[in-house]
Chain A
């Protein structure tokens, strides 16, 4: 069964550094998403992406965050200057025109 793949599985970075989290969505899917889960908290929506542009973003997704689909297969989340509170599991997801969303196994980001 096709799946969403995310790399790396764990990323450790120092505060203020830039990180790029990578995702390969399911190939025939049209919508792409980033969600995150801070330890002990809910899974929360960050951003959705369709037709090469952001279709919706949450208040969490400020100017420090950006997304890109640099080619036909990858979907990336960049955090320009990481903060301690950015430490979380970041999940990429994709979907066809209708739900459900299919999630990857996540990247654990640790900011020290």
Chain B
């Protein structure tokens, strides 16, 4: 299942700088996208979402950008903090009102260096 791809398995960023995590998808029917953060031994924690009617959504230090024509989304974290070090997953789904099934990327491990 390669419908959602995160091509960078890891990313290292200096504290205070911007972290950019990328995600690509292949299914043009996807119309809702989520970003999750995951620490070891914990479940995924929801960060931010975006629907296909928008191209940007912002929540504090986190901004998600959606480029529908390129089937690409990205998560920007500014400024990055050491506590942001975790694995980040993007997930995509479709189905109109009844969202049931999300496809996850393989994750990007972010390391924010103090």
Contacts and interface: CB of A to CB of B under 8 A. Distances in A.
Interface of A: 4, 6, 31, 33, 35, 41-45, 48, 50, 55-56, 58, 91, 93, 95, 97-106
Given A99-B32, A99-B93, A100-B49, A105 B43 contact: yes
Interface residues of chain A: helix, strand, loop or mixed (majority): strand
Q: How large is the interface on B (under 10, 10 to 19, 20 to 34, 35 or more residues)?
A: 20 to 34
Given A42-B1, A44-B1, A45-B103, A55 B98 contact: yes
Contacts, number: 60
B41 interface: yes
Interface in B82-114: 89, 91, 93, 97-107
B46 A102 contact: yes
Nearest to A97: B97
A31 B41 CA distance: 24
B8 interface: no
A101 B41 contact: no
Given A42-B104, A42-B106, A44-B104, A99 B99 contact: yes
B26 interface: no
Given A43-B89, A99-B49, A100-B49, A56 B43 contact: no
24 contacts: A4-B43, A33-B100, A35-B104, A41-B106, A42-B1, A42-B104, A42-B105, A43-B104, A44-B104, A48-B100, A48-B101, A56-B100, A91-B44, A97-B97, A98-B99, A99-B34, A99-B49, A99-B93, A100-B49, A101-B46, A103-B43, A105-B42, A105-B43, A106-B43
